[in-house]
Chain A
């Protein structure tokens, strides 16, 4: 157990942007909410998963809706509390702690504001180890846990309890309600026991974010290359160094889809990387050769500062380093690949772990 103050939150926000793999929503709003909550209520208690009793009840907290709405209609902070209170009475039990369902993007930070206000601890784990766009793309779903009973709440005080036959229905009904409630709501979702959390969640992802954020910050302060320490922390591979040559975007059924072409520099001179994204960066190929594909993680870092670049932030001429990082083993099962692998996103390649893709080649060292 340890306490998180403002500096830790700043670091986690940078790590969250990196594990957001280009999407996940700008962590900025979540960061400021957490900072204000710390100013008003003091530091936040962070628990290692092992410190949580097996029989304790854990309820993750997350936002659902359009990040573009949330940057204008900022949450009141009460939504998440209303959702929690409502789920608590529905379950007729006390809630021991909260956690993010998603490491990466804004959802990685939002549970901290709730925790500070309620005096609840946050558990150092999540349900993705990265960012994904849909509610069923979590390890809890892979392990057969139910997303419901779940509660959606808005800032006006409306709450809605959902009991659905599966997570896909939960996703469908919640999307519709979210629009009626004003485009952005807070969820109390996937209630589970401490035992279930320990076996199903991805552990220590918040500490990983913090370490990533700290190493990028310190690299900047001390003027050394931040990429090496990021690769060491994530067991990642440097896939490519280059500059963005072309970006092709279109918005389809609510997703920002597209490709970016990156022209190689230094040891990648003469090669070209194609990066496919749908909210998140999902597939990287160089001259027709697969380098990394979802559910493994792909992040694009600014070559100078090491700061993560989002899919919207990709601009012609930007010099960047593309890195690939192995996902959690849970995503590498048959069901994991069916849920969030290349086929689900419409890419016609077979999933191969990033380690194999890059060790075969033998020209990039971890």
Chain B
């Protein structure tokens, strides 16, 4: 009998997890491998291990989903970044703060080699500030030729009118051809010029990293005899094709926490809950609302750069399974923030090491069974109790921060380190511990839906409001189907319309996003 299997992979700071699911999403095999410095080797090990430990015929693996930190790492480490051209359309406005002012100097030196500001842009109501200086765009395009890998284009109030960004896009493409990748700000961020521009520049900077990651992943699969369709996880919990990933690599940032939230939702069948993912070094707490992660409403920093693009709202506490426990001189307990990380199996007392970790504390408390408990005989009961109380209290404070009301809500515990936490937590109505909790993130990656999105200005006078909205939703659904979504359970997951005054024809900007499961 032919089956339809899929591989899901999630790359975290400490571990790279992989799962194989069948078409009913049952977990066939799972593995946890160490994340390697180059990331790709760890992915290869995980792919190999999860295949070897299952009897799944390789030709029946049709999909492979990857949630990865390649792009985040490139930005944080300032390595392997593209030569970027930066074009801002907005003069005479905006000259008071030039592109990349406020960005850390080391990154500014790398990304700020080819910066241009040209006349153009729009007002908040869609009127033009100035006509676009197309002659200057041609001049810049010829100047950039041969010098850059990608170009970031940002125009003032492009979330209201995309006109000037696309005019510039067309000129740049005409001159530079297909070899230079173009990133357009209105497709990446919302109102807030500097933050959107920064996100667009970062996007342009990691295009090649995304491309080589995708190639590497496809090759790793091929090497193992798997010829699957490849998808990348994005930070809203949906998948994108390789072509889309290479165009919008910035959307892969923070897909890890999103995957674990979506995986936790799937494993417990909950749509509204708090998800606590305890890793080796940190505990990430996110909020599941309507089966998707709650998005942050505040400016988000990536590698020290302020951006405003959509990100899951996550709070992190420096407590994980490898967190080092110390006693302060006044007798109080200090947890971390440093961790023994992946060296837990060598350094923790319970494994014969010499470092007191949170894992030792829960084993000493009798709440978990790993390693050799007799190694813990030197820990005083008082110390253990106090350390445990501090640990739980710190997580409870973070829970309180993330909740939106005083009502207790369900809590889902996932991640390898979740054995640290008790079955009762303040603020939680119930604590769920699903099966396969250790690889919830890889499962979240594997079960993710496919999405399609449109963002366009429509003249409501032509069709009328209702019909226009329907039309826009249909366009988004078509995009999703083109990306590989099934027609059967396609849904509009995000919709926004912004009326634009001062424009003829009752113009409205509509943004619609549709998502559905992968078509078989």
Contacts and interface: CB of A to CB of B under 8 A. Distances in A.
Given A36-B98, A71-B193, A317-B403, A76 B124 contact: no
Q: Could you say which of A72, A78, A157, A319 has the most chain B C-beta atoms within 10 Å of its C-beta?
A: A72
A66 B124 CA distance: 10
B90 A73 contact: yes
Contact of B124 (A69, A156, A157): A69
Nearest to B102: A32
A72 B191 contact: yes
A156 B101 contact: no
Nearest to A113: B96
A319 B394 CA distance: 13
A75 interface: yes
A183 B402 CA distance: 35
Contacts of A69: 124
A54 to B, nearest CB: 33
Q: Could you say which of A74, A77, A246 has the most chain B C-beta atoms within 10 Å of its C-beta?
A: A74
Contact of B157 (A72, A155, A319): A72
Contacts of B129: 73, 155-156, 182
A87 interface: no
Interface string B161-199: 000000000000000000000000000000111100000
A226 B281 CA distance: 28
A78 B194 CA distance: 19
Contacts of B372: none
Given A68-B191, A73-B157, A78-B92, A33 B123 contact: no
Contact of A72 (B95, B192, B401, B402): B192
Q: Could you say which of B93, B129, B400, B406 has the most chain A C-beta atoms within 10 Å of its C-beta?
A: B93
Nearest to B97: A32
Nearest to B195: A71
Nearest to B404: A316
Interface in B390-409: 397, 400-406
Interface of A is mostly: loop
B459 interface: no
Nearest to B156: A73
B94 interface: yes
17 contacts: A32-B194, A39-B101, A66-B124, A71-B194, A72-B156, A72-B192, A73-B93, A74-B94, A74-B193, A74-B194, A77-B95, A155-B129, A156-B130, A316-B403, A317-B402, A317-B403, A319-B401
A74 B121 contact: no
Nearest to A37: B96
Contacts of B192: 71-72
A73 B97 contact: no
- Give 4 closest A-B pairs by Cβ, nearest first: A77-B96, A317-B401, A155-B93, A76-B95
Interface residues on B, range: 20 to 34
Interface string B127-144: 101100000000000000
Contacts of B193: 71-74
A317 B402 CA distance: 7
Given A33-B97, A75-B93, A183 B123 contact: yes
Nearest to B123: A182
A243 B426 CA distance: 15
Contact of A317 (B102, B124, B130, B400): B400
A145 interface: no
Q: Could you say which of A37, A73, A183 has the most chain B C-beta atoms within 10 Å of its C-beta?
A: A73
A72 B93 CA distance: 10
Contacts of B194: 29, 32, 71, 74
Interface of B is mostly: loop
Interface residues on A, range: 20 to 34
A146 to B, nearest CB: 29
B519 interface: no
Given A182-B124, A183-B124, A29 B94 contact: no
B403 A36 contact: no
A313 B298 contact: yes
A157 B92 CA distance: 9
A113 B97 CA distance: 10
A217 interface: no
Interface string B77-95: 0000000000000111111
Given A35-B102, A73-B193, A76-B92, 11 more contacts: A32-B102, A33-B97, A36-B96, A66-B124, A69-B124, A72-B124, A72-B191, A73-B129, A76-B91, A76-B96, A317-B400
A318 to B, nearest CB: 7
A69 B127 CA distance: 14
A29 B299 CA distance: 13
Interface string B102-132: 1000000000000000000101110101100
A245 interface: yes
A245 B403 CA distance: 10
A155 B92 contact: yes
B96 A74 contact: yes
A274 B312 CA distance: 30
A316 B121 CA distance: 38
Interface string A62-96: 00001011011111111000000000000000000
A156 B97 contact: no
A23 B516 CA distance: 42
Nearest to B93: A155
Contacts of A113: 96
B109 to A, nearest CB: 14
Interface string B285-323: 000000000000010000000000000000000000000
Interface string B367-410: 00000000000000000000000000000010011111110000
Contacts of B125: 183
B92 A243 contact: no
Interface in A292-351: 313, 315-319
B93 A76 contact: yes
A357 B96 CA distance: 44
A33 B96 contact: yes
Nearest to A68: B191
Contacts of B98: 36
A77 B124 CA distance: 19
Contact of B101 (A32, A78, A243): A32
A185 to B, nearest CB: 11
